[in-house]
Chains A and B, each alone.
Chain A
Amino acid sequence: MNDYPQVLFAGRRPGTTNFLAGYEAGGGYRGLRKALTMSPAGIRELVKAAGLRGRGGAGFPTGVKWSFFPEAPGEKYLLANGDEMEPGTYKDRQLLLADPHQLVEGMAIAAFAMQIPHGYVFLRYAYEECARNVERAIAEAEEKGYLGRNILGSGFSFELHVHRSAGRYILGEETALINGLEGRRPNPRSKPPFPAQAGLFGKPTNVNNIETYCNVPHILVNGADWYQGLSRTPEGAGTMLVGLSGHLHRTEVFELPMGIPLREVIEQVGGGVRGGRRFKACLPGGASTPFLTASQLDTPLDHVHLEQAGSRLGTAGVTVFDDTTCMVAATLNLARFFARESCGWCTPCRDGLQVVVWLLEEIEAGRGHAELLAMLRDQVRNIRGRSFCALAEGAMGPVGALLDRFGDELEDHIARGRCPLKR
């Protein structure tokens, strides 16, 4: 069914998990073997040259992040962010269900590239099966000398542990995750200092998304040029796991080349809008990314083009809405999620998002008026860029797009005194 080049999902078989034998048979741990022959700086340069960007939402170039990291030996930590909780995003779970060793290898390479002795895989409570998979993968890797003391005789040591968290959306924020791992309230920390300077237990810490680490072994084996060549657009690099959800025929995770046009994703991969209905809008990168409309379907899915289109690639969770969807109700649903997941630290997020929810509720219930619409605009303007961390900023993605791209639908709600799409 899938003719796209498969890298991360190359060894994926429905219903089974690849452990050591299967992973090695598919070429696993060749990347680590190669990495150990290189210099740490060389690996960082290679990852930088490959153009790998973080898959956790922010899309920061991974090699650049690693190059800021202090290489001097000492207490340092490598964390994998597996607190996958964005609505519409469920790719890391599929990765860990398919190939947990891919993460272990990627983290071992990253640890070597930054000379980090300790690592934690941070998983949310719902991912118990994933946690067991990773634990087994760690045990197997230790057995074979891919982890632990003196990895493959290189003299480099790296210990990896699994941490199960109680799990809230805010833990996806790297400094909140660090607080959570320390056993504190997962409130984000102010930056600077950045985790690379003072992170877990005050020590230099590198945090990447699980998918990000999983890309690393393949870059080591096949090189930067190959990785860049996987992308359809020169702005992108590699493949990405795209999680489909919403009103589509197929709602699964697919590994697709970076830069694939949105239209192709929806019509070919996703099998088109369900029930023969028309496409109305989609979230291209998870719940915190601004809606795109039908006129933007030719946008290639990469960081640069989506930003030009006024949205973000985020975690590449594409949620599609058909033409029966009330965008006010859809946005309200998203806003409720973000308001509920606020950690309660800063005022715009804690109390501002609740006001946004109230405003959307009033408008959706037909109690809206012009003043409330103006107030909604005020909220977006004063929450965006003003909160402590990116949570409220993300929450304003769909709300801002609702105001910009579905202003007529909002006004229709107010003019009619009811939701025009509700029968």
Chain B
Amino acid sequence: MPTLTIDNREITVPEGTNVLEAARALDIVIPHFCYHEALGAVGACRLCAMRITDGKVSGIQMACMVRAKDGMIVSTLDPDAVELRRHVIEWLMTNHPHDCPVCDEGGECQLQEMTIAGGHGNRRYTGKKRTYANQDLGPYIAHEMNRCIACYRCVRTYRDYCGGTDFGVFGSRDRVYFGRVRDGQLESPFAGNLVDVCPTGVFTDKTFRFKSRAWDLQEAPSICPHCSLGCAVVPGARFRELQRIRAGISPEVNGFFICDRGRFAKGSTNDPARPRQPRIDGTPAAMDTAIETLRTRLAAVVARYGPQSVALLGSPHASLEAAVLLRDWAQSLGTTRLVYTAHAEQDRAARITGARLERHARSLNDIRGSDLVVMVGADPLAEGPLLALAARQAVRGGGQVAVIAPQPVELPCRASQLILPTEQLDAALHCLAGGAATTLDATARQQLEALREQLAGAQRPVLVGSSARLGGRGVNTLFDTAEALTTPERTIGVMMLLQGPNSYGGAMLAGRGPNFDMLLDGIEDGRIRALVCLESDPIGESRDPARTQELLGRLDLLAALDARPTATVARAAIFLPTRTGIEADGSYVSNEGRLQAFARVMEPGVPLRDTSPAGHPPREFFTETPGSEPWPAWRVFARLLGRSEDLAVLRREIADLDPRFAPLAGIRPEAPGSRLTTTPGLPHYQLDREARE
């Protein structure tokens, strides 16, 4: 741990820290462009100049390129360093257009900030500026090469970090060009990260073009709802519209990057077809009335058929708070018929994961540092793209990736691929654990035995599975394999891709309860008379949509809470609109058991539209914001339960009542979140059998 002095202040930093990071730890910002925590130091921009006095490396040096050494004396205010920094900015500005007023980067532009910080205010160069032709990079990313300052962050992100091949750097001298061979949509599923890493306005979000200035956006730390990984995102809203999403920074999870689905798929928040009005039997109603009607109609069903005639269906997409209150509500109604996903097989897989993950749990950061990642049946680019990106980092760090799947799995990195039909994946896992696996052919067995050897020798191995492909049985076998190969020296890690952002949380709450297929059976034989669906669409999501649709028609009462215009919502007698994660505070438990909170970005409402001159001023005035009816789902249940409608109070209550959720009490959306301890000793095999019955 070297101790060095920067601008007369001492600091001790971990071995290998560069001077730029050491200064940052002292809140001394050394201006820089090309340096990026995730991309490393390359020393190209020459902006982070400082002077080192004494020692082996001395004189004017680049802070990013010099490792902190014991006794080093650093001055960031040295006149020569300041002069160089000013010149670097002046050089970069010789060709940079002064188009800040029409540039989308304006207000969050590193070049603007560094120009101010660097002290360059007057451009002495009066010659011609270099110009480029721009490319059409597809519907998501705008390209404006004239603004380029050649920090090379884009190629380092796109090619090195993300493994893209259709984008690169062309030319040389002061005419380097960052783009594709010819116009066309960027192929990488991580292309959107160019927008975040570009320090100027070369790559901007085309979907966000000319919509807002950064300072006008309402932003808040959030969690991506599109898969089970729980990447940090920062959505930005304005005029009641979710306008853009950028990557949040979460070292243990996504690091600095997100996938294009997380960035550009904005979900139902802005959806014009989104149902925003509470309805009773097809008639619009006030929220309070709708909730009261739900309460009285359910009471009638309970009175006639008993409490067990009511079934509740949660969702992998609903917040943990809503999921917990759904359980509390089930208890208050007296029913045990509570399920957290309409897909029975994924349900089983998630519950086994929740029960068995424990010491095997690994984060995406662990995967990035793994020396052997074995993916069984998982297709990360489809089910959790950041996992594919993490696997690439493992390979870049010298690790290896092996895939066992029914079809070749596309990954942005080198990987060995063993193709086996889905029904043989279980046998393959047995084989990895040392089993005989007689159903497999000789070549597959040979490859698996070689892989078993590799696993035995690996220091930080991780098994990756998928609840969608493996199902309950396969997931259980995968954990058996992880146990079998674990030695006292090192545990085999597991990462299981689950259905949704809160599948894990739902699985923790579901415990040994029934699955949705059992509920359907109950509806079929008339034991179940009422179903309340929380942000779940059983018609669209269950294993047998046709049967589900038919059976839902037999219910005395179907109620739905949702923000999406689903088939279930269309058939529900009582409909309660809920808020999306953009419009409400909440939390999810990601697939590694990490509890992470997200914050409300904006209040719900129909997005404002630009009006034509003829339509201005508006002819109608409202005292209410149009489309602001939706409530957070947890608030609906808090009302039904007669509990506090203050989320902070609810979180404390949840934490007090269920020690597994203790971190919920003081949870902050800007914090990295914490991994929950699962219920130890839950008999998973028993659960497995139960779920099958």
Q: Which residues of A contact B (CB under 8 A)?
A: 168, 170, 185, 190, 339-348, 350-355, 358, 362, 371-372, 375, 378-379, 381-382, 385-388
Interface: B125 (CB within 8 A): yes
**Contact partner, A382, options B84, B149, B172, B173, Cβ 8 Å:** B84
A168-B172, A339-B174, A358-B125 as given contacts; A348 in contact with B150, CB under 8 Å: no
Complex interface: chain B residues within 8 A of A339 (CB): 173-174
Extra contacts besides A341-B172, A382-B83 (7): CB < 8 Å: A342-B174, A346-B45, A347-B44, A347-B46, A347-B150, A381-B83, A382-B87
25 pairs, A vs B, C-beta closer than 8 Å: A185-B169, A341-B172, A342-B172, A344-B172, A344-B173, A344-B176, A346-B43, A347-B45, A347-B46, A347-B91, A347-B150, A348-B88, A350-B173, A350-B174, A351-B92, A351-B174, A355-B91, A355-B125, A358-B125, A371-B124, A378-B83, A378-B87, A382-B83, A386-B84, A388-B44
Which of A351, A358, A385, A386 has the most C-beta atoms of chain B within 10 angstroms of its own C-beta?
A351
Interface: B437 (CB within 8 A): no
A352-B91, A386-B49 as given contacts; A342 in contact with B173, CB under 8 Å: yes
The residue of chain B having its C-beta at the shortest distance from the C-beta of A168 within the complex is B172
A190-B43, A347-B46 as given contacts; A354 in contact with B174, CB under 8 Å: yes
Interface magnitude class on chain B = 20 to 34
**Contact partner, A344, options B43, B91, B95, B150, Cβ 8 Å:** B150
Chain B residues 89 to 120 lying within 8 A of chain A, measured CB to CB, are 91-92, 94-95
Bound together, the chains give a CA A139 to CA B666 distance in angstroms of: 76
Complex interface: chain B residues within 8 A of A375 (CB): 124
Complex interface: chain B residues within 8 A of A362 (CB): 127
Interface: B60 (CB within 8 A): yes
The residue of chain B having its C-beta at the shortest distance from the C-beta of A362 within the complex is B127
A351-B174, A386-B60, A388-B44 as given contacts; A358 in contact with B91, CB under 8 Å: no
A347-B92, A351-B91 as given contacts; A341 in contact with B173, CB under 8 Å: yes
A340 near B127: Cβ-Cβ < 8 Å: no
Complex interface: chain B residues within 8 A of A354 (CB): 94, 173-174
A388 near B172: Cβ-Cβ < 8 Å: no
The residue of chain B having its C-beta at the shortest distance from the C-beta of A343 within the complex is B172
Bound together, the chains give a CA A164 to CA B125 distance in angstroms of: 40
Contact with A along B156-186 (1 / 0, CB 8 A): 0000000000000101111110000000000
Complex interface: chain B residues within 8 A of A388 (CB): 43-44, 46
Q: Which residues of B contact A (CB under 8 A)?
A: 42-47, 49, 59-60, 65, 83-84, 87-88, 91-92, 94-95, 124-125, 127, 149-150, 152, 169, 171-176
Bound together, the chains give a CA A379 to CA B91 distance in angstroms of: 10
A355-B125, A385-B60 as given contacts; A346 in contact with B92, CB under 8 Å: no
**Contact partner, B47, options A168, A185, A190, A347, Cβ 8 Å:** A347
Bound together, the chains give a CA A190 to CA B44 distance in angstroms of: 10
Complex interface: chain B residues within 8 A of A353 (CB): 174
A352 to chain B, nearest CB (A): 5
Complex interface: chain B residues within 8 A of A340 (CB): 173
Complex interface: chain A residues within 8 A of B152 (CB): 345
B287 to chain A, nearest CB (A): 58
A135 to chain B, nearest CB (A): 29
A344 near B46: Cβ-Cβ < 8 Å: no
A165 to chain B, nearest CB (A): 14
The residue of chain B having its C-beta at the shortest distance from the C-beta of A385 within the complex is B60
Nearest first, the 5 A-B pairs at minimum CB distance are: A351-B91, A344-B176, A382-B87, A342-B173, A358-B127
B561 to chain A, nearest CB (A): 55
Please report whether the interface of chain A is mostly helix, strand, loop or mixed according to DSSP.
Answer: helix
A413 to chain B, nearest CB (A): 17
Bound together, the chains give a CA A353 to CA B125 distance in angstroms of: 13
Complex interface: chain B residues within 8 A of A379 (CB): 87
A190 to chain B, nearest CB (A): 5
B91 to chain A, nearest CB (A): 4
The residue of chain A having its C-beta at the shortest distance from the C-beta of B128 within the complex is A358
The residue of chain B having its C-beta at the shortest distance from the C-beta of A374 within the complex is B124
A295 to chain B, nearest CB (A): 31
The residue of chain A having its C-beta at the shortest distance from the C-beta of B83 within the complex is A382
A71 to chain B, nearest CB (A): 25
**Contact partner, B176, options A350, A372, A378, A387, Cβ 8 Å:** A350
Complex interface: chain A residues within 8 A of B88 (CB): 347-348
B125 near A350: Cβ-Cβ < 8 Å: no
Bound together, the chains give a CA A353 to CA B94 distance in angstroms of: 12
Complex interface: chain B residues within 8 A of A355 (CB): 91, 94, 125
Bound together, the chains give a CA A29 to CA B199 distance in angstroms of: 58
B93 to chain A, nearest CB (A): 9
Bound together, the chains give a CA A358 to CA B42 distance in angstroms of: 28
A168-B172, A382-B83, A386-B84 as given contacts; A345 in contact with B44, CB under 8 Å: yes
The residue of chain B having its C-beta at the shortest distance from the C-beta of A170 within the complex is B172
A189 to chain B, nearest CB (A): 10
Complex interface: chain A residues within 8 A of B84 (CB): 382, 386
B392 to chain A, nearest CB (A): 19
The residue of chain B having its C-beta at the shortest distance from the C-beta of A352 within the complex is B91
A258 to chain B, nearest CB (A): 31
Complex interface: chain A residues within 8 A of B171 (CB): 344
Bound together, the chains give a CA A344 to CA B130 distance in angstroms of: 14
Complex interface: chain A residues within 8 A of B87 (CB): 348, 352, 378-379, 382
A351-B92, A352-B87, A385-B60 as given contacts; A346 in contact with B169, CB under 8 Å: no
Complex interface: chain B residues within 8 A of A170 (CB): 172
Bound together, the chains give a CA A168 to CA B83 distance in angstroms of: 31
Complex interface: chain A residues within 8 A of B44 (CB): 345-347, 388
Bound together, the chains give a CA A385 to CA B172 distance in angstroms of: 21
A7 to chain B, nearest CB (A): 38
A188 to chain B, nearest CB (A): 10
Complex interface: chain A residues within 8 A of B59 (CB): 385
Complex interface: chain A residues within 8 A of B172 (CB): 168, 170, 341-344
Which of A170, A350, A375 has the most C-beta atoms of chain B within 10 angstroms of its own C-beta?
A350
A405 to chain B, nearest CB (A): 24
Bound together, the chains give a CA A382 to CA B86 distance in angstroms of: 10
Complex interface: chain B residues within 8 A of A371 (CB): 124
A303 to chain B, nearest CB (A): 23
B180 to chain A, nearest CB (A): 16
B91 near A346: Cβ-Cβ < 8 Å: no
Which of B42, B91, B92, B176 has the most C-beta atoms of chain A within 10 angstroms of its own C-beta?
B91
Bound together, the chains give a CA A388 to CA B152 distance in angstroms of: 14
Bound together, the chains give a CA A129 to CA B92 distance in angstroms of: 42
Bound together, the chains give a CA A381 to CA B87 distance in angstroms of: 10
The residue of chain A having its C-beta at the shortest distance from the C-beta of B127 within the complex is A358
Bound together, the chains give a CA A353 to CA B46 distance in angstroms of: 14
Bound together, the chains give a CA A400 to CA B578 distance in angstroms of: 71
Bound together, the chains give a CA A348 to CA B43 distance in angstroms of: 12
The residue of chain B having its C-beta at the shortest distance from the C-beta of A186 within the complex is B172
B8 to chain A, nearest CB (A): 24
The residue of chain A having its C-beta at the shortest distance from the C-beta of B125 within the complex is A355
A363 to chain B, nearest CB (A): 13
Complex interface: chain B residues within 8 A of A386 (CB): 46, 49, 60, 84
Bound together, the chains give a CA A371 to CA B123 distance in angstroms of: 12
**Contact partner, B174, options A344, A378, A381, Cβ 8 Å:** A344
Bound together, the chains give a CA A407 to CA B95 distance in angstroms of: 29
**Contact partner, A190, options B42, B125, B173, Cβ 8 Å:** B42
A193 to chain B, nearest CB (A): 13
Complex interface: chain B residues within 8 A of A381 (CB): 83
Bound together, the chains give a CA A88 to CA B414 distance in angstroms of: 47
Which of A344, A348, A358, A385 has the most C-beta atoms of chain B within 10 angstroms of its own C-beta?
A344
The residue of chain A having its C-beta at the shortest distance from the C-beta of B59 within the complex is A385
The residue of chain A having its C-beta at the shortest distance from the C-beta of B49 within the complex is A386
B150 to chain A, nearest CB (A): 6
Bound together, the chains give a CA A385 to CA B83 distance in angstroms of: 14
Bound together, the chains give a CA A308 to CA B43 distance in angstroms of: 31
B95 to chain A, nearest CB (A): 7
B43 near A351: Cβ-Cβ < 8 Å: no
Bound together, the chains give a CA A195 to CA B43 distance in angstroms of: 18
Complex interface: chain A residues within 8 A of B94 (CB): 351, 354-355
